[in-house]
Structure 1
Amino acid sequence: MSQKTRIISTLGPVSDSNEMLGQLIDAGVNIFRLNMSHAPREWVKDVTLRIRAIAKEKKRHTAVLCDLQGPSIRTGDLDEPYMLVPGDVLEFRKRDAEQKEKYSSTVNYEGLMDDVRAGDPLVVDNGYLLMTITEVLPDRIVCEVKTEGKLGSRRHINLPGVRLNLPALTAKDHGDLATAVEAGVDFIAGSFVRDAAHVDELRKAMEELGGEAHIVAKIEDQEAIRNIDGIINAADGIMVARGDLGVEVEFEELPLIQRRIVRRCHVLGRRVIVATQMLESMIENPMPTRAEVTDVANAVFEEADAIMLSGETAMGRYPVQCVETLSRIAQRIERSGGMGYGKEVILRTERQKTLRAAVNLVDSIADAQIICFTRRGFLPVACAQLRPQSRIHAFTSKSGICRKMALSRGVRAYQIPFSEDHDTNQAAALEVLRGTGEVPEGTPLIVISDTLQKDHTVDSILIIHA
């Protein structure tokens, strides 16, 4: 039986073949991430179709997440990388500005000079190069290099603590969003989300294109942390993107920030992903470091819905082993219990309170499991937020709803045709579960339903036995 914690795998050159996609699904991948910072638009459509076909063959509901680049500040193209040492002077200039310093790069954000001031820190490539801004001119900024390193083309720039007047969505994002909607992806992630209005803007743009994907907000800077509750409430899920976030905040604060965000997601009833550098050493090595094992274990112990691999499965030497490693760690830690944040969920509606009663019931009966019948996917997702000890077997009539449940911890989705007769649906579900071997005969089952019966919706809790 697979782990409850969901696994997200980023696709790249080493994992793009149909054979590798199949191996990754077999190893435990629930969602494939397409990084639009690098992904060609035609590839998005092609790979989404291939994932759907392979998952169908394997009788799995593997989802696709399209991760928009967002308003990322990047260096320009260089003929050759610069090898920089402390004390070197480097300028970042507007595209039409003439080079004045020996080391010079354009920058893709024309408003940079208006947002920064002398003395501000500037970080390149997720901390690989540290600099201080020494001079701000109308068409460029001048920096003093503080650490030795190589500056290549199109490297990401961070400005810790500086409020940038960047748009929520760039022209590239709008084009990529249209492609994602056309491809029918299941989740769309917005990068560098800074407040709830940014989430709303992304959702509105998607819906105007006819999209129905769930929106994931990536938390990557200090402004987002300050507005975290609003962002959580506006989004369908949150990603703790520790790469940029780890540059924006003091590194010793990052574990505390991660735990705070995960807890607030539990309390406010939203799914949460912990991402970035989970098994970074396995890009080159077949085994993780013990520190990485502990890091993954902490995310699982915090009962995050999902943990994510980036370069490990996009360009690493051991993509399948990385997924298997996450699965092994997750299964072991899940058996030891978790933080219990699910008990702190704010229950706003009668339906949520009904689900709490169902979870309390299943947790009080030895070996009991949950069956959930759902039309829109709300019930199993909300039930999973309460973190029952058992798994949740969710039945729906639509494959798209199955895939949207792929981000919820402990939920396994099944597609069956729905009848107007609840007993018929229940019998069909039991037949499926007996066939999987995951529900032994005699297992107590708590059945939760919000299915449409004739002309009305039925919300119910029922105890049966397999």
Structure 2
Amino acid sequence: MRSYHSKGYPMKHLHLFSGKRTKIVGTLGPASSNRQTLEGMVRAGLNAVRLNFSHGDHTTHAEAIALARAVSAALGCPLPIIGDLRGPHIRVGDIEGGSVTLTDGQPFTLTPEVCAGNAERVTVSYPRLAQDVQVGSLLLLDDGNIQMKVTRLHPDGRIEGVITRGGSLSSRRGINVPGTRLSLPPLTEKDLRDIDFAVEQGVDFLALSFVQSATDIQTLKTLLAAKNSDIAVIAKIEMSAAVDDIEAIVEEADAVMVARGDMALEMSFREVPVAQKRIITICRRRAVPVITATQMLESMVAAPKPTRAEVTDVANAIFDGTDAVMLSGETAIGQYPVETVAVMSRIAARAEEAWRNDEVPRLPDLPPGPSVGQIISHSSTLAADHLNAAAIVAYTRSGGTARRISRFRPRAPILALTPSPKMCNRLALSWGVNPLQVDNLLRTEQMTQTAVDYALKLELAHPGDYVVIVSGNPSAPPGKTNLITIERVGE
């Protein structure tokens, strides 16, 4: 038997035996931007890191990127980096003294004029807002804690209204306009600077905030292409307009994030679970990785264990078919970042065990689709399940083969072998996929032998086990998967 080694990572792949297949994304911040904590999080099951460009500066983010890459190399596992763009969020301006108390029934004005805010008026960051709303529109200030009903619109851009739910309004707080398609451009000047930084640093993903249509994704991809960058784009779904255009957005995006925080402000909170399930289903059907985010284990920012409702929320997202679940403040500023990742890993492992043991209904079968690659991926899953195969090994250059297999949720682990280090990191977000970078193999027989060798070396398979191998003609262009090989180890 020939000996092979992974170009990018040691042979003992850290997450192959972590006990869970759902991926975990953790946000880096003051609580987690040190070597010991981040290594602890990765050992506990972290699969990707998120940098929130709404906070911090480029120096801080560059240090976090260097840390993530050092930990990835030291522990021998891919650790993709997601840069989360702030996007065109509407905000109020500065307020005298930092905050003001607004009471029910009082008049209040939003103005494009730069002024020191007070109890009568405040600057709005989007001068054209008056052209996008109408009399009777409901505006939500400070994450919905304050509500204002529009009573009059002025040609100079002022918006008069009456406060229908009062509270304390602080400087720079956000404004949401539920159910309204805004004329905002998808990228701000800050976003453009952050994109340049991300390209320079070579991050793996950029998450586009406040997406309203597929055109927004195209705009970012065109900009990246002009910079000779192939950074993958994540569409954050938080606007009601994006939910309406979800099919087209999923078609354009490389991945999708169900960002439930602003989504709960943009539509009725009772609609969020329905939207979450619909988005996840569409992404799974299209083999597009999907991340479920926001307040998943929020109580663990300050507590060592989650609430029952949070545990159920994480498990239900997995039962829905999400590829990944995300932690925000829990790992960025929380008191228990490592413990939070460990808890999420245990919840995911138990939910997946319930699937395998038929304690809960498995995800509905998907039609394999019309292409040869889709049919091959579906057939490999059926073969692996019926044979109780130890592993499915997929050779992939574009990542499509591994993602298509993943969407069928096979019982066997998926080992994705790719010559591309970038693809290795991207595939780390897909459910159940364990990516390894390998040499580019030129013959089908070499692919088969190498797949079996890796399955043995990684202790995925043992003599007598079946391994299902999915590949294509090595000389064919990417995306031409057309071959299934079933090998019994040792025969």
| Bin for the TM-score computed over the shorter chain | over 0.9
Distance in structure 2 (CA, Å) of the matches to 1:339 and 1:259: 15
State the 1:148 CA deviation: 4.1
State the partner residue of 1:460: 483
User: Relative to structure 1, is the Cα distance of residues 432 and 114 closer, same or farther in structure 2, using a 3 angstrom cutoff?
Assistant: same
Letter in 2 for 1:55: S
Q: Secondary structure at the match of 1:16?
A: coil
Check whether the contact 2:388–2:412 (CA below 8 A) recurs between aligned residues: no
SS of corresponding position for 1:182: helix
Match of 1:251 in 2: 269
Gaps of 5+ in 2: 1-16
> 2:418 corresponds to which residue?
396
2:7 maps to none
Number of residue pairs matched by the alignment: 465
Q: Does the aligned pair in 1 maintain the 2:373–2:481 contact within 8 Å?
A: no
How far the C-alpha of 1:340 sits from its partner, in A, is: 4.6
Correspondence 1:362-441 to 2 at 5 A: 362-441=384-463
- Residue from 240, 249, 257 that aligns with 1:239: 257
> Are 2:52 and 1:35 equivalent residues in the alignment?
yes
Q: Determine helix, strand or coil for the equivalent of 2:331.
A: helix
Q: Name the CA shift for 1:226/1:153 in 2 (closer, same or farther; >3 Å).
A: same
- The answer as to 2:236 corresponding to 1:221 is no
2:402–2:433 contact (8 Å) kept in structure 1: yes
Q: Work out whether residues 267 and 342 of structure 1, in 8 Å CA contact, stay in contact via their aligned partners in 2.
A: no
Match of 1:52 in 2: 69
1:153-194 CA distance string (max 9 Å, x none): 221211101221111222221221111111111111111111
- Report the equivalent of 2:297: 279
Deviation at 1:415, TM superposition (A): 1.9
Please give the alpha-carbon distance, in whole angstroms, between the structure 1 residues aligned to 2:401 and 2:476.
19
The 3 A distance-change label for structure 1 pair 42 and 294 is same
Q: d(CA) in 2 for partners of 1:18 and 1:116?
A: 48
Out of 53, 64, 84, the position equivalent to 2:102 is: 84
% same residue: 35
1:14 aligns with 31
Q: Distance in 1 between matches of 2:70 and 2:469?
A: 31
Establish whether residue 353 from structure 1 lines up as the match of residue 368 from structure 2: no
Aligned AA for 2:395?
F
1:27–1:320 Cα contact (<8 Å) kept = yes
How much has 1:197 moved relative to structure 2? 1.1
- Give the Cα–Cα distance (whole angstroms) in 2 for the partners of residues 160 and 255 of structure 1: 17
Judged with a 3 Å threshold, the aligned counterparts in structure 2 of structure 1 residues 339 and 227 are, in CA distance, closer, same or farther, namely farther
TM-superposed deviation, 1:450: 3.0
Q: Indicate the residue corresponding to 1:144 in structure 2.
A: 162
Structure 2 vs 1, CA of residues 256 and 454 (structure 1 numbering), >3 Å: closer, same or farther? Answer: closer
Q: Which amino acid aligns with 1:56?
A: A
Deviates more, 1:38-47 or 1:454-463: 454-463
Which runs of structure 2 are paired with 1:61-72 in the superposition (5 Å)?
Answer: 61-72=78-89
Deviation at 1:444, TM superposition (A): 1.0
TM-score by length of 1: 0.94
Structure 1 unmatched runs, 5+: none
Letter in 2 for 1:121: L
Once the two structures are TM-superposed, the CA of residue 210 in structure 1 deviates from its matched residue by 1.4
Aligned-pair distance for 1:366? 1.9
Give the distance between the partners of 2:206 and 2:134, measured in 1 at CA.
34
Is the CA contact 1:374–1:396 (under 8 Å) kept in the aligned structure 2? yes
User: Structure 1 pair 350/117, CA: closer, same or farther in 2 (3 Å)?
Assistant: same
**1 CA distance for matches of 2:321 and 2:45?**
17
> Residue deviations 1:13-32, cap 9 Å, x none?
21111222211111111111
Query: Which letter does structure 1 place at the counterpart of 2:239?
Result: D
What does residue range 158-307 of structure 1 map to in structure 2 within 5 Å? 158-307=176-325
**Which deviates the most, 177-186 or 360-369?**
360-369
**Structure 2 counterpart SS, 1:407:** coil
More off after superposition, 189-198 vs 136-145 = 136-145
| CA pair 263-455 structure 1, distance change in 2 beyond 3 A | closer
Q: Distance in 2 between matches of 1:126 and 1:441?
A: 57
2:466 paired with 1:449? no
What SS does the corresponding residue of 1:146 show, helix, strand or coil?
strand
Retained in 2: the 8 A contact 1:447–1:461?
A: yes
TM-score, normalization by structure 2: 0.89
- Describe the SS at the equivalent of 1:143: strand
1:341, distance to aligned residue in structure 2 (A): 4.6
Deviations 1:21-52 (A, max 9, x none): 21111111111111111132233333222211
User: Using the alignment, how far apart are the partners of 1:373 and 1:288 within structure 2?
Assistant: 39
2:337 counterpart residue number: 319
Check 1:163–1:429 CA distance in 2 against 1; reply closer, same or farther (3 A cut): same
Question: RMSD between aligned alpha carbons?
Answer: 2.2
Distance (whole Å) between structure 2 residues aligned to residue 192 and residue 298 of structure 1: 25
